[in-house]
Amino acid sequence: MNVTEAELKQRTRRRFFFTGLHLCLYFSFSLNWTVWGSFLAERLGASHITGSLLMFISLILVFIGLESVFLWLSRQGERS
Amino acid sequence: MRRLLRNSFLIGMCSLQAHSVLAAGAIEGEVTRQPVNQTAIIMFLIFVVATLFITWRASRATTTSSVFYNAGGQITGAQNGMAIAGDFMSAASFLGITGLMFIGGFDGLILSLGAFGAWPVLMFLFAKRVRNLGSFTFIDVISQRLERNPIRLVTAFSTIVVVVMYLIAQMVGAGKLIQLLFGLPYELALIIVSGLVLGYVAFGGMLATTWVQIIKAILLLTGVTLIAFLLLAKLDFSFSGLLKQATLSHPKGEAILSSGVIFKDPIQILTIQVSMLFGTVGLPHILMRLFTVPDMRQAKLSAYYASLFIGYFYIALLVLGFGAIAFVYNAPEFFDESGSLIGGSNMAAIHIASAVGGDVLTGFMSAVCFATILAVVAGLTLSGAAAISHDVYAEVLKQGEPDPKTELRLTRISVFLIGLAAVLLGIAFQHENVAFIATIPMVVSASVTFPMLLLSLFWGDFTTRGAIWGALVGLTTSIVLIVLGPQVWVSVLGNSEALFPYDYPALFTMPLAFGVMIMVSKLDASARAATDRDNYRALLWRAEFGESAPSGQAGSV
- 3-state SS, B481-532, equals HHHHCHHHHHCCCCCCCCCCCCCCCHHHHHHHHHHHHHHHHHHCCCHHHHHH
Report the pLDDT value the prediction gives residue B325, as an integer from 0 to 100: 95
With beta carbons less than 8 A apart as the criterion, state whether B27 and B346 touch: yes
Query: Which of A18, A29, A56 is opposite residue B124, by nearest beta carbon?
Result: A18
CA distance A37 to chain B (A): 10
Window 376-435 of B: residues touching A by CB (8 A cutoff) are: none
> CA–CA separation, B489 vs B512, rounded Å?
22
DSSP string over B536-547: HHHHHHHHHHSS
Q: What is the mean pLDDT of residues A49-59?
A: 96
Q: Which residue of A has its CA nearest to B303?
A: A67
Q: How far apart are CA A80 and CA A74, in angstroms?
A: 10
Tell me what pLDDT residue B499 has: 94
Number of residue pairs across A and B with CB atoms under 8 Å?
A: 131
What integer pLDDT is reported at residue B4 of this predicted model? 45
B287 touches chain A (CB under 8 A): no
- B-interface mutation test, from A63, A73, A76, most B Cβ less than 10 A away: A63
pLDDT in tens, chain B (557 residues): 445 445 544 444 444 444 444 444 445 555 666 667 777 788 888 888 888 888 888 887 777 777 888 888 889 999 999 999 998 888 778 888 898 899 999 999 998 999 899 999 999 999 989 988 877 888 888 888 899 889 999 988 888 888 888 888 888 878 877 877 777 888 888 888 888 888 888 888 888 889 889 998 999 999 999 999 999 999 999 999 999 999 999 999 999 999 999 999 999 999 999 999 999 999 888 888 988 998 888 988 999 999 999 999 999 999 999 999 999 988 888 888 888 888 778 788 889 999 999 888 988 888 888 888 888 888 888 888 888 888 888 888 888 888 888 888 888 899 899 989 888 988 888 777 666 777 788 999 999 999 999 999 999 999 999 999 999 999 999 999 999 998 889 888 889 999 999 989 999 999 999 999 999 999 999 999 999 999 998 888 888 887 665 554 443 33
Nearest to A74 among B264, B300, B318 (CB): B300
With contact defined as beta carbons under 8 Å apart, do B288 and B450 qualify? no
Under DSSP, the state recorded for B30 is -
For residue B241, the chain A residue with the least C-alpha distance is A48
Contact B276, B114 (CB under 8 A): yes
In whole angstroms, what is the distance from residue B438 CA to residue B165 CA? 6
Ramachandran region, residue B459 (left: φ > 0; alpha: ψ -120 to 50; beta: rest): beta
CA-based nearest residue in chain B for residue A56: B113
How confident is the model at residue B328, as a pLDDT? Answer: 92
Q: Are B67 and B353 in contact (CB under 8 A)?
A: no
Phi/psi at B286 (5° precision): -80, -45
pLDDT value of residue B338: 83
Q: Do A41 and B258 touch (CB under 8 A)?
A: yes
Give contacts of B125 with chain A, Cβ < 8 Å.
15, 19
Give the closest residue to B358 by CA, choosing from B39, B45, B75: B39
Q: What pLDDT score does B171 carry?
A: 84
The pLDDT score that the predictor gives to residue B557 is 34
Q: Is B548 in CB contact (< 8 Å) with chain A?
A: no
pLDDT higher at A59 or B432: A59
Residues 6+ apart with CB under 8 A from B10: B103, B250, B251, B329
Who has greater pLDDT, A15 or B297? A15
- B248: contact with A, CB 8 A cutoff: no
Residues of B in Cβ contact (< 8 Å) with A5: 553, 556-557
How large is the ipTM? 0.94
DSSP B90-111: -HIIIIIIHHHHHHHGGGGHHH
- Amino acid making up residue A79: R
**B378 phi and psi angles, rounded to 5 deg:** -60, -45
